[in-house]
Amino acid sequence: MHVPAGKTILVTGIVQGVGFRPFVYGLADRHGVRGDVRNTSEGVRIRAFGEREAIERFAADLERRPPPLAAIQAVRTEDVPYEDRDAFVIRPSEDAAARQVAVTPDAALCADCRRELLDPADRRYRYPFISCTHCGPRYSVLLDVPYDRPNITLKNFPLCDACRAEYEDPTDRRHHAQTDCCPACGPQLWCAGSNGQRLADDPIGAAARALARGQIVAVKGLGGFHLACDARNNDAVERLRARKDREEKPFAVMVRDKDAAQQLAELPAYAGELFASPASPIVIARKVHPEGLAPAVAPGNDFYGLMVPYTPLHVLLLAEGPDALVMTSANRTDEPIAIDNHEALERLDGIADAFLLHDRPISIRVDDSVVLATGGGPTLLRRARGYVPAGIETGRNVDGIAGFGPMLKNTLAVGRGTVVYPGQHVGDLNNRLALDMFDEVYAHLQAILGVSVRRIACDLHPDYPTTRLAAETGLETVAVQHHHAHLAGLMAEHRVYDRGIGLAFDGTGYGPDDQLWGGEVFTFDPASFERAFHLEYVPLPGGEQAIREPWRMALAHLVHHRLDWTPFVENELADRAPQAASVVKLLQSDIPRVHTSGMGRLFDAVASLTGLCHTASYEGQAPMRLEGALTDAGEPYGFELEGGRIRTGRLVADVLRDVEAGVAPGIISGRFHNTIVALALEACRRVRAAEGLTRVFLSGGCFVNAFLRTRIPGRLAADGFEVFAHRLLPPNDGGVSTGQVLVAAAREG
Ligand code: ZN
Ligand code: ZN
Ligand code: FE
């Protein structure tokens, strides 16, 4: 039976720049549907005319098999009168409208493009800029919206006839692929020596040979330059450490594929999906055997950070050069990644022996993202390439509110409508280049979102540079306590805003009493918080220095709890005895000093007491050592909850006793970890008994610890609590900016 019908279909979500309209065109063709498709302010709007049944099948397929990079939020259909159309057509974007539509993150090379890249018969054989509607750069080439060729960094590469034909062919995978190009019309790659002089050679071959010789090559990637060297050549890796001025922090390593990664680290099943995903992040997992790569890759660390080639350039480099490459952000330690050729040549002078350069500009710095794959599900540690600029739907009005983030691991976030858009990892705001990057990301996000910020949420800390930057805008500012922001961001992820219990187990964050908080049990919602319990305050001897030198925290705990510190100093601190003596003297004096309730600082103290780590050359090194050493999760040590405090005197005394009795650090670590689980459970029970709250939110940098991340939720759930942990944001300070936006929105009221 022939029943002519009409429908409008509105598809919302990430539907722009992902090959959605060609996909719709193909479907319409297959089902014999006529009409049109266009981008609107809400998403993609389709008008479909034809047989009723055909339209229904067409609409069902839209949801069933969307293009790989699309993320459909909703499909809404409405019946309209039948119109007699000749064909199905793609209509151009409406400029103002398209601005509202989500821009996609950068996406790793797809399987089809990979096949073409490696096919000697293909016209893009070994062409390092191959891409299509299913893959390639997006955010990192975007200059403005809408996402169209004139608004991306390929604007100066006009399409050749062959590429234009693909671009205009509605049935082609490259139909309206804004990044479409080929060796004849697109960007070019070249290799340069350390002086910047272009080598007249096959660039991939030249770079591959330099790497095989143990040289350090700066490689222009998707969101910035990497410094690469052979990850199995210890001399090369040591040289890179020396030149980059990076002591022990592990380097990320790129290997050929998932199987190669599996040889090196214990990968959970989902790690394979992460490697194959468009985001293709660095995955951190426990080493299988410590000698898989050069020892200097991750010295004294139980984990490797691994990734697989995510651009065509990487695929070629790994195929033709060494099979495992250190790939670390090209910068001096703490500075942002370099992005343009001149900048790289200048800033990496004396670091890189050669440069693999190209003429496709990078519009904005985006580092590799990092996902932790130890225990439980994946946990984001650094949210950048492949994730940004995807937004987080909060269900609350956050329009025009920005969060400027914390001081370390900074991200900023901008709200539009009910969605918060966290920007990419900026890093530690302790140098001018990082502050410049902060400004770039802030301007870029506002431009591509079409938002002008009217209200800025900042950290409560009066001396952070972001506080000054916010004041300079002249806009209204709101100060948000660091851990309140951590927890409010987590609420936003789950869209659960009823008052709950918050465990903020963190390094340090400024408290309204001028002390450094970080072992906090709150009752809270986005508008306000109360502190139910906190780790007992201990002095922070030497301020920032105490954070870099865990032995200072060990002494702080010993002196504070009136325990005998002399055996510890004699056994463990012999080579810094005079410093230790002066720290003890300082701790015993009446000189006013800052105190901390930071959980990270307690981990530092125990890591040092057990002899595992006395000084940290990067943030979190001591807690990572302690976690890495854990062999057996034995009986918890003692602790007390009283007067809003979690007393740690017995805990530290018990640790000290075990150390002196010669108990192995792995056992002490296990008992210590179990103590933290036990005190978390006990604190939540007390709050539940007092206030009837049963939802617990877990945030803060300590939740990157696999033991805490799995055991605390497990114990809480078994005790009848409903537990919420991070899925979209990092539990560390990378998630703070989103929470700041939510708190500022809640206070607006
Ligand atoms: Zn592709
Ligand atoms: Zn071309
Ligand atoms: Fe924090």
Over residues 319-331, the pLDDT tens digits come to 999 999 999 999 8
Q: How far is the CA of 180 from the centre of ligand 2 (A)?
A: 7
How do residues 206-227 score in pLDDT, each as one tens digit?
A: 999 999 999 999 999 999 999 9
Q: How far apart are CA 541 and CA 580, in angstroms?
A: 11
Q: How far is the CA of 139 from the centre of ligand 2 (A)?
A: 22
- Is it the case that residue 380 has pLDDT exceeding 90? yes
The tokens of 211 are what?
């790497």
The tokens of 354 are what?
């050669």
Q: How far is the CA of 113 from the centre of ligand 1 (A)?
A: 4
Instruction: Locate the DSSP E strands across 141-223.
Output: 189-193, 198-199, 217-220
Say what percent of the chain tops pLDDT 90. Answer: 84
Cβ 708 vs Cβ 472: under 8 Å = no
Q: How far is the CA of 312 from the centre of ligand 2 (A)?
A: 16
Q: How far is the CA of 93 from the centre of ligand 3 (A)?
A: 42
- Is it the case that residue 179 has pLDDT exceeding 60? yes
Average pLDDT (370-388) is 94
User: Which 3 state secondary structure label does DSSP give 90?
Assistant: strand
For residue 136, CA distances in Å to 177, 309, 340, 357 come to 10, 12, 19, 18
Q: How far apart are CA 149 and CA 173, in angstroms?
A: 16
- Average pLDDT along the chain: 94
Cβ 486 vs Cβ 507: under 8 Å = no
Ligand at shortest distance from the CA of 184: 2
pLDDT of residue 39: 79
Q: How far is the CA of 382 from the centre of ligand 3 (A)?
A: 13
Say what percent of the chain tops pLDDT 70. Answer: 98
Q: How far is the CA of 723 from the centre of ligand 3 (A)?
A: 19
Q: How far apart are CA 237 and CA 216, in angstroms?
A: 9
Q: How far is the CA of 473 from the centre of ligand 2 (A)?
A: 44
Going by pLDDT thresholds of 50, 70 and 90, the confidence category of residue 96 is: low
Q: How far is the CA of 187 from the centre of ligand 3 (A)?
A: 42
Q: How far is the CA of 630 from the centre of ligand 3 (A)?
A: 24
Q: How far is the CA of 210 from the centre of ligand 2 (A)?
A: 30
Ligand at shortest distance from the CA of 181: 2
Q: How far apart are CA 412 and CA 736, in angstroms?
A: 8
Q: How far is the CA of 133 from the centre of ligand 1 (A)?
A: 6
Q: How far apart are CA 409 and CA 149, in angstroms?
A: 33
Ligand at shortest distance from the CA of 123: 2
Q: How far is the CA of 295 from the centre of ligand 3 (A)?
A: 31
Q: How far is the CA of 138 from the centre of ligand 2 (A)?
A: 18
pLDDT of residue 103: 76
Ligand at shortest distance from the CA of 165: 2
